[in-house]
Amino acid sequence: MNDPVGGREYVRWMTAPTDRVPAVLEDPGLHVSDPRELLLGHLDWYADALRRKLAGLSDAALRTPVEPIGWAPLGVVQHLGWVERRWLRWGFAAQDVVAYAPEGDEAEWAIPPDCSAADVLGAYAEEVRLARAAIGDAPLDAPARVGGRFPTAHDAPTLGRILFHLLQEYARHAGHLDVARELVDGTTGE
């Protein structure tokens, strides 16, 4: 049978010995099983991954839009700062904060010329710190407070749902950043 997906060739291929070493599970640690700790640990891992993926780029490369993508690598970091604010501070904690860039969606991704890379990375780190403080030690089944992003209790998701959404947002944008980095200088991601 020559069917590479459903037949014997596929089975033989799937069972062939290999000397490749499988990837090691990284943060938040191999033996962490608490769902809240896993979600927050993976979010922290992705925050660190953003910094790793930007390491070694010149200031010009950090802020120059990558074609055909249309945004700069540093723009992803700035955008994710807004995402943290929208979902955790304004969303979960119902804090009275500006949730969207006043200049519109494109401004969320555009780095102002007078803003250094260190400024953007520092603002992002501070936003992550404030977002984590806003959720405190709330359990995953705690509903978001009413009054910020969510107008009624019926509309308010749980913290677990919000953190899961953030995890997929980070994973997607880390992948985008891998593509951008490869287009900029050929460096590939993990």
Determine the 3-state secondary structure of 190 from DSSP: coil
pTM over 0.75: yes
Beta bridge partner(s), residue 170: none
Question: pLDDT class for 10, splitting at 50, 70, 90?
Answer: low
Angle among Cα 128, 172, 79 to the nearest 5 degrees reads 45
Tell me 110's DSSP state.
Answer: P
Nearest to 157 by CA among 173, 142, 179, 178: 142
Q: What is the mean pLDDT of residues 73-82?
A: 96
Determine the 3-state secondary structure of 66 from DSSP: strand
- Report the 10 Å Cβ neighbour count for 178: 16
pLDDT 10s digits, 22-49: 666 677 778 888 999 999 999 999 999 9
Backbone angles phi, psi at 8, to 5 degrees: -65, -35
State how far the Cα of 39 lies from the Cα of 148, in Å rounded to an integer.
Answer: 23
State how far the Cα of 30 lies from the Cα of 72, in Å rounded to an integer.
Answer: 34
Question: pLDDT class for 1, splitting at 50, 70, 90?
Answer: very low
- Segment among 24-28, 49-53, 141-145 with least mean pLDDT: 24-28
Q: What is the mean pLDDT of residues 128-153?
A: 97
Q: What is the mean pLDDT of residues 58-86?
A: 95
Question: pLDDT class for 77, splitting at 50, 70, 90?
Answer: very high
Q: Which amino acid is at 66?
A: V
Residue 92 has pLDDT above 90, yes or no: yes
Residue 4 has pLDDT above 80, yes or no: no
Q: What is the mean pLDDT of residues 143-170?
A: 97
Q: Which amino acid is at 26?
A: E
Question: pLDDT class for 147, splitting at 50, 70, 90?
Answer: very high
pLDDT 10s digits, 99-122: 999 999 999 999 999 999 999 999
* Token pair listed for 123: 């603002």
Q: What is the mean pLDDT of residues 155-178?
A: 96
